[in-house]
C-alpha cells in the first residue's frame, strides 16, 4: 500500500468526557432509534439501527443452532395464577410488571401480566413437555419483546421499559452438574458472540443479595463504557430446582423414579448495540465491527466536471465486484451532496471502510481506501480490490478488539484499601477490586462507602480466591477479591 497518510487523528475527547450527551446524539444522528415515541422508555427502531440488531440476532441464531437450542415463540401475556408461583421471582418482579385487566369496558375474569421475562410463561408448558430423562437436556430460546416498568432513569437500548429484542434461553437438565455444563456452554456462546462484536468483557458471580429473582446463582458479563460505568450485556442463571418445584417439572429417571429437573437461563438484549456504540465509538460517531455493520464498504464517487472519465460508472463496477465477493456495499451517488458531507454521514454511521474514486483513480485503475477506525487512507490497485477490502475489514475488527481490550484492562484496578478505592472512583472510573471476607454485611457496607455496586467476584470462582490479604472493610482474613463499579 503506497502513501499511507493519516489525514485525521482519532479523537475521543467528547466520547470520553461527555459520553452521555455523545450517546444520546448518536442514537439520533446514526439513525439507530427514534426516541420521540409517546411512551417513556419505549423507542422506535429505525431501519439502520434495526439492521445492526438483526445482524447480531443472526449471530445468536447461529450459536443456538450450533448448540442444539430450539427456537420457540410464547405468548406475551401470562395469567396472574402462573406468574405468582415462585416466591422470590414474584418479589423480584412485582414492582415492575405491567398488568392487562380489561377488554374494552369489560374486566377480564383472569388478570394478565405482560411478560417481564418468560419463566412463568414457559414453565407451565415445561410441566407438560418434560416427562422422561430422554427429554433432557431440554433447550429452547426466543428473541421477543418483554416489559419491565423500570423506575430508574430510562435510556435508549440500555434501560428501556419495553426490551424489544430480549434473547432468553431456558434449559432443563437431569442434574445440577449437567446444568453447570449448560452454564459453561452459555459462557462459550457469549464468548463467540463477544469476539464477533470485538467486545472484551469480564464475568462476575453476582453477590447473593443481587442475583436474579429465583436463581441459585447468577453470572453477569460486563463491558466498561467510556464514562467508566459498567454495562451488563449478558447474564446466565442457575436455578437448581427452584422453579421445577414451583411448577412441578419432573422427569422419570431410568430407574423409574421421578425427579425435579435442574434449570438454567441465559439472557441478552439490545444492550449489545449500546455496548458496541460505547466501546468502539469516537468523536466522529459510531465505529461498527464489519461482522455486524449493515454497510461494510461505502463507495463514494468523486466526479469532476471537466473530466472525461465516467467516475460514477467506475464506482458502480467496483461496488458490483465487492458485492459479488459477498460484502455489504452501498454506493453513495447522491448528486446534491458534497463529498465531505458524504464522508461525515457515513463516518457517523460507523461504516468500517470507505472507498473513494475520482478521475485520477479511473485513469490509474485504482481506488482510495479510508479506514473508519484509524482514518488511514491508502491507494489500492484495482486488481487487488477484493483481497485488500477483505484484509482491511479483518484488520479493523482486530484493531477494534485490541483497542477495546486495552481500555478494559486499564480500567480495572486491584487495591487493598477502601481509601485507595474511593480515590480511584473520584479521579478515574471503571472496576475496582478489593479484598473481601465474603460476609454480606461487609459487601453491602463497602457498596455504601464507595457509592458503587458490587459486581461480585471474578468467575470462575478459583480466580477470585486470594491469600494473605485482609478484608478492606473489617480487617478479617479476606477470602475473595470483590469487584465494585458504578453501573448502568
Ligand atoms: N431494562 C432493560 N433494558 C435493556 N436491557 C435490559 C434491561 N433489563 C435487563 N436487560 C438485559 O437483559 C439481560 C437479561 O435480563 S436478566 O434480568 O438479567 N435475566 C433474565 O431475565 C433471565 N430470565 C435470563 S433471560 C440482562 O443481562 C441485560 O443485558
Ligand atoms: Zn469483611
pLDDT, tens digit (0-9, with 9 covering 90-100), for 85-124 = 988 888 889 999 999 999 999 999 999 999 999 999 999 9
Residue in 98, 112, 90, 113 with CA at minimum distance from that of residue 39 = 98
Q: For the residues 255-259, what does the mean pLDDT come to? A: 97
Q: How far is the CA of 472 from the centre of ligand 2 (A)?
A: 7
- The DSSP bridge pattern shows strands 297-301 and 329-331 to be parallel
The predicted pLDDT at position 9 comes to 85
Residue in 182, 178, 392 with CA at minimum distance from that of residue 297 = 392
The predicted pLDDT at position 88 comes to 85
Furthest CA-CA distance within the chain: 87
User: Which ranges in the chain are annotated with CATH 3.40.50.800?
Assistant: 295-394
| Ligand lying nearest the CA atom of residue 435 | 2
Q: Is the pLDDT of residue 186 over 60?
A: yes
Alpha helices in 350-384 (DSSP H): 359-364
| Ligand lying nearest the CA atom of residue 269 | 1
Residue 150 Cβ contacting ligand 1 at under 6 Å? yes
- The DSSP bridge pattern shows strands 262-268 and 258-260 to be unpaired
Residue in 34, 110, 105 with CA at minimum distance from that of residue 79 = 110
User: Which ranges in the chain are annotated with CATH 3.30.930.10?
Assistant: 13-280
Alpha carbons 266 and 140: distance in angstroms, whole number = 11
429-446 per-residue burial string, b: 16 or more CB within 10 A, e: under 16? bbbbbbbbbbeeebbeeb
Which of 155, 267, 453 has most ligand 1 atoms within 8 Å of its beta carbon, as the pocket-test mutant? 267
Which of 122, 159, 235, 274 has most ligand 1 atoms within 8 Å of its beta carbon, as the pocket-test mutant? 235
The predicted pLDDT at position 213 comes to 86
Name the least confident of 220-229, 304-313, 327-336.
Answer: 304-313
The predicted pLDDT at position 87 comes to 84
Residue appearing with cell numbers 461496488:
319
Residue in 202, 220, 211 with CA at minimum distance from that of residue 240 = 211
Cβ contact 224:232 at 8 Å = no
| Ligand lying nearest the CA atom of residue 487 | 1
User: Which ranges in the chain are annotated with CATH 3.30.110.30?
Assistant: 412-485
Region at 194 (left for phi over 0; alpha for psi -120 to 50; beta for the rest): alpha
User: What sign for the dihedral angle of Cα 128, 86, 120, 266?
Assistant: negative
Position 259 confidence tier, pLDDT thresholds 50, 70, 90? very high
Task: Describe the crossing of helices 271-280 and 19-29 by its angle, rounded to 10 degrees.
Answer: 110
Q: For the residues 276-287, what does the mean pLDDT come to? A: 98
Q: For the residues 330-342, what does the mean pLDDT come to? A: 96
Q: Is the pLDDT of residue 1 over 90?
A: no
Number of residues that this document lists for the chain: 488
Helix, coil or strand: residue 286: coil
Is the domain spanning 295-394 CATH 3.40.50.800? The answer is: yes
Other C-beta atoms closer than 10 Å to the C-beta of 84 total 15
Alpha carbons 466 and 481: distance in angstroms, whole number = 6
Residue appearing with cell numbers 405468582:
84
Helix, coil or strand: residue 204: strand
Residue in 347, 52, 49, 343 with CA at minimum distance from that of residue 197 = 52
Alpha carbons 236 and 222: distance in angstroms, whole number = 12
The predicted pLDDT at position 305 comes to 86
Residue 319 Cβ contacting ligand 1 at under 6 Å? no
The predicted pLDDT at position 4 comes to 55
Residue 117 Cβ contacting ligand 1 at under 6 Å? yes
Point out which residues pair with 446 in neighbouring strands.
none
Q: For the residues 303-312, what does the mean pLDDT come to? A: 91
Residue 163 Cβ contacting ligand 1 at under 6 Å? yes
The predicted pLDDT at position 6 comes to 54
* Cis preceding-peptide flag for 464 (omega within 30 of 0): no
Helix, coil or strand: residue 463: helix
Q: Is the pLDDT of residue 245 over 70?
A: yes
Q: Hey, what's the torsion of the CAs at 131, 132, 136, 141, to 10 degrees?
A: -10
Q: For the residues 315-326, what does the mean pLDDT come to? A: 98
The predicted pLDDT at position 151 comes to 87
The predicted pLDDT at position 184 comes to 98
The predicted pLDDT at position 194 comes to 98
Cβ contact 144:74 at 8 Å = yes
Q: How far is the CA of 118 from the centre of ligand 1 (A)?
A: 11
CA 347 to chain centre: 22
- The DSSP bridge pattern shows strands 262-268 and 230-240 to be antiparallel
Residue in 253, 72, 76, 242 with CA at minimum distance from that of residue 170 = 72
Q: Considering the chain, what is the average pLDDT of its residues?
A: 96
Question: E strand or H helix at 233, and its extent?
Answer: strand 230-240
C-alpha cell recorded at residue 195: 469476539
Please tell me the pTM assigned to this model: 0.97
Q: Hey, what's the torsion of the CAs at 273, 277, 279, 284, to 10 degrees?
A: 170
Q: Is the pLDDT of residue 304 over 70?
A: yes
Q: Which residues contact 290 (CB under 8 A, 6 or more apart)?
A: 296, 352, 353, 393, 394, 396, 397
- Measured from the Cα of 267, ligand 1's closest atom is 25
Which of 139, 269, 456 has most ligand 1 atoms within 8 Å of its beta carbon, as the pocket-test mutant? 269
Residue 122 Cβ contacting ligand 1 at under 6 Å? no
pLDDT (tens digit, 9 = 90+) per residue, 418-456? Answer: 999 999 998 768 999 999 999 999 999 999 999 999 999
Into which CATH architecture does domain 13-280 fall? 2-Layer Sandwich (3.30)
- Measured from the Cα of 166, ligand 1's closest atom is 12
Q: What angle do CA 417, 421, 425 make, to 5 degrees?
A: 170
Position 408 confidence tier, pLDDT thresholds 50, 70, 90? very high
Q: Hey, what's the torsion of the CAs at 183, 186, 191, 194, to 10 degrees?
A: -130
What is 412-485's CATH number, 3.40.50.150, 3.30.110.30, 3.40.50.1000, 3.40.50.510? Answer: 3.30.110.30
Structural Rg of the chain based on CA atoms:
26
Amino acid at each position: 500500500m503506497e502513501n499511507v497518510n493519516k489525514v485525521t487523528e482519532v479523537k475521543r475527547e467528547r466520547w470520553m468526557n461527555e459520553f452521555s450527551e455523545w450517546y444520546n446524539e448518536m442514537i439520533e444522528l446514526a439513525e439507530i432509534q427514534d426516541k420521540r415515541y409517546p411512551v417513556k422508555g419505549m423507542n422506535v427502531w429505525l431501519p439502520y439501527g434495526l439492521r445492526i440488531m438483526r445482524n447480531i440476532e443472526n449471530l445468536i441464531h447461529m450459536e443456538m443452532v450450533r448448540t442444539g437450542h430450539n427456537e420457540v415463540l410464547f405468548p406475551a401475556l401470562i395469567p396472574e395464577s402462573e406468574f405468582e408461583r415462585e416466591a422470590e421471582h414474584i418479589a423480584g418482579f412485582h414492582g415492575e410488571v405491567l398488568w392487562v385487566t380489561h377488554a374494552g369496558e369489560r374486566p377480564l375474569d383472569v388478570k394478565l401480566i405482560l411478560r417481564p421475562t418468560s419463566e412463568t410463561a414457559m414453565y407451565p408448558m415445561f410441566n407438560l413437555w418434560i416427562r422422561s430423562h430422554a427429554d433432557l437436556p431440554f433447550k429452547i430460546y426466543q428473541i421477543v419483546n418483554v416489559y419491565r416498568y423500570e423506575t430508574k432513569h430510562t435510556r435508549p437500548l440500555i434501560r428501556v421499559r419495553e426490551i424489544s429484542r430480549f434473547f432468553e434461553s431456558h434449559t432443563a437438565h437431569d442434574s445440577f452438574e449437567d446444568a453447570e455444563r449448560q452454564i459453561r456452554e452459555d459462557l462459550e456462546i457469549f464468548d463467540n458472540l463477544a469476539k464477533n462484536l470485538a467486545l472484551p468483557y469480564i464475568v462476575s458471580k453476582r453477590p447473593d443479595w443481587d442475583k436474579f429473582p429465583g436463581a441459585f446463582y447468577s453470572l453477569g458479563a460486563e463491558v466498561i463504557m467510556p464514562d467508566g460505568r459498567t454495562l451488563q450485556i449478558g447474564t446466565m442463571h442457575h436455578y437448581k430446582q427452584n422453579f421445577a418445584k414451583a411448577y412441578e417439572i419432573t422427569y422419570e429417571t431410568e430407574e423409574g423414579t421421578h425427579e425435579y429437573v435442574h434449570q438454567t437461563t441465559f439472557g441478552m438484549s439490545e444492550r449489545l448495540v449500546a455496548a458496541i456504540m460505547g466501546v468502539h465509538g469516537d468523536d466522529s460517531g459510531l465505529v461498527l465491527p464489519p461482522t455486524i455493520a449493515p454497510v461494510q464498504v461505502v463507495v463514494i464517487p468523486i466526479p469532476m466536471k471537466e473530466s472525461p472519465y465516467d467516475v460514477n460508472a467506475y464506482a458502480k463496477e467496483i461496488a458490483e465486484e465487492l458485492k459479488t465477493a459477498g460484502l455489504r456495499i452501498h454506493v453513495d451517488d447522491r448528486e446534491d451532496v458534497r463529498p465531505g458531507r458524504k464522508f461525515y454521514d457515513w463516518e457517523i454511521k460507523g461504516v468500517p471502510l470507505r472507498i473513494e474514486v475520482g478521475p485520477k483513480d479511473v485513469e490509474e485503475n485504482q481506488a482510495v481506501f479510508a479506514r473508519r477506525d484509524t482514518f488511514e487512507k491508502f491507494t489500492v490497485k484495482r486488481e487487488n480490490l477484493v483481497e485488500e477490502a477483505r484484509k482491511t475489514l479483518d484488520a479493523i475488527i482486530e484493531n477494534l478488539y485490541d483497542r477495546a481490550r486495552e481500555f478494559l484492562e486499564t480500567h480495572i484496578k486491584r487495591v487493598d484499601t477502601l481509601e485507595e478505592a474511593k480515590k480511584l472512583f473520584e479521579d478515574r472510573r471503571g472496576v475496582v477490586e478489593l479484598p473481601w471476607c465474603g460476609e454480606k454485611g461487609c459487601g453491602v457496607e463497602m457498596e455504601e462507602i464507595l457509592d458503587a455496586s458490587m459486581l461480585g467476584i471474578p468467575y470462575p470462582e478459583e480466580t477470585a480466591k486470594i491469600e494473605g490479604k485482609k478484608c478492606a472493610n473489617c480487617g478479617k482474613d479476606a477470602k475473595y477479591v470483590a469487584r465494585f463499579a458504578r453501573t448502568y
